[in-house]
Structure 1
């Protein structure tokens, strides 16, 4: 692992296909830190296939220091029918342990918000693990408030297939 100094050595740029392995490692590390690494079934190839090109399912910004990925913001565009405006959903925000608390995560979020604003967006949403109190405090310091009125629901596995296959 490269020796990383402080956040002043970090540059932010758009993710590229050649970042797929490092991006996947970052997600695995994030999952490990939450005690959920075993739930991660994605591969670096999934990142390369789905995150780049004209049909990309997501966008990404990476923080880099000394040629090493030390931060990741994986996002995708969203639209609010109530607001009548586009926005951005941050799916994952990762900062290498060595640089946490030095503003790298904030810089990545600002980059995603700026990306959205340049496309007419006026909001940012994200979800955070209910037990990740440090992340919740970080987001709240930035003005990213917990939405008491919203509750996220999801369908995975058999439940998703039942929905998707209902019209076959």
Structure 2
């Protein structure tokens, strides 16, 4: 299947479709049992708050959202420039292998440059070999200098 996807900033009316792909990602990454996001939370947090809790790029194909890239800004860094933290990149399984992920990442890179960001950061599950290969192919480097920690409250 070949598509002509349009990469664009998400708008409020995309909330339900964004939520659906967020839910699919939660299933894929095995955290669906703790997934508490709803379409209304997506709408409120991403489009009605100022500033929003997150930003989102979408890949649209004939009215369908084929992929999402969710991110937010880290305003204060050692470089005295912001960074972007990519929280979610997910392409619907029916649209994989068509460079949609790469197009979304290119949009994020352009967004980082527009906002004078020093870098884009993200994490990848250690079992997600396809994701790791994808990011290496784009030229991203694994950061082995830091360990990730979590503190549930």
Q: Which has the larger radius of gyration?
A: 1
Deviations 1:43-100 (A, max 9, x none): 1111111101422011000000010001000001114532222121110001111221
Give the match's secondary structure for 1:138: helix
Structure 2 unaligned runs (5+)? none
- How many residue pairs were aligned? 152
Give the match's secondary structure for 1:85: coil
Q: Please tell me the root mean square deviation across aligned C-alpha atoms, in Å.
A: 1.4
Aligned with 2:10 (options 8, 15, 20): 15
Give the match's secondary structure for 2:33: helix
Equivalent residue for 2:28? 33
Q: Is the 8 A contact 1:62 1:108 kept in 2?
A: yes
Equivalent residue for 1:57? 53
Distance 1:41 1:153 in 2: 21
Deviations 1:111-136 (A, max 9, x none): 11111211111311111112111101
How high is the TM-score relative to the length of structure 1?
0.84
Structure 1 unaligned runs (5+)? 160-168
Distance 1:56 1:80 in 2: 17
Distance 1:80 1:145 in 2: 22
How high is the TM-score relative to the length of structure 2?
0.92
Question: In the alignment, does 2:66 pair up with 1:47?
Answer: no
Q: Is the 8 A contact 1:80 1:86 kept in 2?
A: yes
* Matches for 1:42-121 after TM superposition, within 5 Å: 42-53=37-48, 54-79=50-75, 81-121=77-117
Distance 1:79 1:131 in 2: 30
Distance 1:101 1:138 in 2: 11
Question: In the alignment, does 2:152 pair up with 1:150?
Answer: no
* Matches for 1:134-149 after TM superposition, within 5 Å: 134-149=130-145
